[in-house]
Chains A and B, each alone.
Chain A
Amino acid sequence: MGPFLETLIGGLMTGMLYSLVALGFVLIFKASGVFNFAQGAMVLFAALTMARFAQWIPQWTGLSDKLLVNLLAFGVAMIVMIGVAWLIERLVLGKLVNQEGITLLMATLGITYFLDGFGQTLFGSDIYKIDVGLPKDPIFLFEQTFQGGVLINQEDLAAAAIAAALVALLAAFFQYTSTGRALRAVADDHQAAQSIGIPLSRIWVIVWSVAGFVALVAGIIWGSKLGVQFSLSLVALKALPVVILGGLTSVPGAIVGGLIIGVGEKLSEVFIGPYFGGGIEIWFAYVLALVFLLVRPQGLFGEKIIDRV
């Protein structure tokens, strides 16, 4: 029972991080219909900015209070991400309005290459640590219930709490602010939203900034767990099966899809993997998404707008 639960919880933690990346993905897809491959690159870029400024600020100003430094670095990273969002809207998406989906997809791939290269040129390509003071020590749970108990990282628990808070914050933002209402209107129908006076280009900047914020949070959690490195950028590819599973336009879908993929991946690796020679984590998510597409193309929570052939 113990190992099974530990795998399950490990999977939930990984899945939650997939969810965070997928969330940024869904936000952008809903508001602008862009399949944003650059989400992973944005995670990497945001995390790099945060990690480097957290290092640089004490050197420049002599501040030593860790919380203050981290907050400042977070602020700088957020401003940088808003700048990135504004530039992407201005220089790329604004010029590609009304192009086909595949052209937009390729454009975001171009952005991916650019951000990866730019981030590493600017901030260097070593592995950096982000230390926001998450508790590190593992704890044992359920020791009384059964033999051995379950080993859990406190860091993972903190990360889960942060992610949950983020989702709640986003939900509140979308539901109760006027900007959020405008965002939902644009997501529903571009033309109708524009005709009642919602400025599309500004909405897109906001959406990309929100996606940048989500990327930053995801980057911090991953970064403090594994270090900030290039492989963060590849997480974006795992977000694709997640959004397919959950439905491309559904925020809860991204969360549930991420958790399912994370858990499924870990459980299958541990319990089915040995029969296939191991390493099936690499493709499990994609094959699961493939099977899902054949049975339920709109995903778990998606709207049924997909064209059946």
Chain B
Amino acid sequence: MLYRENGQFKTSYTADQQIFPILQDRIAMALLLAVAFVAVPLLGSEYMFRAIFIPFLILSLAALGLNILVGYCGQISLGTGAFMAVGAYAAYNFQVRIEGMPVLLSLLLGGVCATAVGVVFGIPSLRIKGLYLAVATLAAQFFVDWAFLRIKWFTNDSASGSVSVADLNVFGLPIETPVAKYLFCLSFLMVFGLLAKNLVRSHIGREWMAIRDMDVAAAVIGIRPVHAKLSAFAVSSFIVGVAGALWGFVYLGSWEPAAFSIDRSFQLLFMVIIGGLGSIMGSFFGAAFIVLLPILLDQLLPALGSLVGLTFDTAVVSHVVFMIFGALIVFFLIAEPHGLARLWAVAKEKLRLWPFPH
């Protein structure tokens, strides 16, 4: 009744091509942004910013990048953690080695370096695909892990590859408080989200999807596979690299290569698959799910345990969380293989017809 496009006529090409063609969607989006930019900073506690909002924002940015590669272009990557690491360490080097380097610029240059590495490790995708490619990208993961651990130049000669940055400021504004960090990440996410959404609606996005759906047919209608695949690797690694730089600079502050291990790559792939392959919205859902689930379980388990008179020590809790996490992932894959974004789409369809069943 409330949510439908009936009566909303489009009279110009611009109106026809907007991202949210339905008025109600635009209102909802504006409300969401208002809540994110105004209400959350006013109401959120410091713990919530540190433990939930900031990791959620940065990881959804990384998931967004990965979704472009896996969801839109159909190239599986298990090396996302490596590209994040490249972004973080490259940004660190720009920051430390060049006097007076603006933080914003080093973050973006970190993304550019990740792009270069991503394209190099994307080259095998020209000959192999599917799970074989996944193994090829594992090489990127382990090689990069090793490089930042062993090659001292990358980490400014620090022991065991641990580095740290301090005194972040953008245009003279310090980014020290959790709220400032939150707003900084949120702005990044908004800009990149908009960019990604427009990219996948453009001719490049269509090329990616054509390659994903059937590469031979795509080549026949004149899409260059080399161009499409490498551009997907480049765009994806750029976003992932920037996310990695943010993860290091803003969330961790000081980090070592273990922060971007193979587990991070798996975590991001889980986000993309549980959220929904080939959906910008899905990346956010997936990130929220994967970030929130362990925190919720951590809180809930001891509470539940004390209810029935059991006390768990922390090691047991962490194992049980691991276990439930795995079980829930399997459950989600079985219940909705197309991810949370699909549930969202179904809900929207239902809402259009509401209160009628058909």
Contact = CB atoms under 8 A, between A and B. Distances in A.
Question: A and B bound?
Answer: yes
Nearest to B273: A106
Given A105-B134, A290-B136, A116 B322 contact: yes
Contact of A113 (B130, B131, B136, B329): B329
B77 to A, nearest CB: 11
A240 interface: yes
Interface residues of B, number: 48
A121 B323 contact: yes
A99 B225 CA distance: 26
A306 B328 CA distance: 33
Given A237-B262, A278-B150, A309-B129, A283 B319 contact: no
Which interface residue of B128, B145, B266, B315 has the most chain A CB atoms within 10 A? B128
Nearest to B141: A286
A2 interface: no
Contacts of B266: 109
B322 A105 contact: no
B312 to A, nearest CB: 9
A297 B333 contact: no
A111 interface: yes
Interface in A250-267: none
A290 B333 contact: no
Nearest to B125: A309
Given A95-B334, A287-B143, A111 B326 contact: yes
A297 B132 contact: yes
Give the secondary structure class of A's interface: helix
B131 A101 contact: yes
Contacts of A121: 316, 319-320, 323
Contacts of A237: 138, 262
B139 A286 contact: yes
Interface string B307-333: 000000001100111111111111001
Contacts, number: 140
B126 interface: yes
Contacts of B327: 110, 114
B321 A35 contact: no
Contacts of A307: 129-130
A294 B326 contact: no
Contact of B124 (A102, A282, A294): A294
Contacts of B262: 237
B335 to A, nearest CB: 9
B146 A280 contact: yes
Interface string A89-123: 00110011001111101110111111111101100
Interface in B44-80: 70, 76
Nearest to B152: A277
Interface of A: 35, 91-92, 95-96, 99-103, 105-107, 109-118, 120-121, 125, 237, 240-241, 244, 276-280, 282-283, 286-287, 289-290, 293-294, 297, 306-309
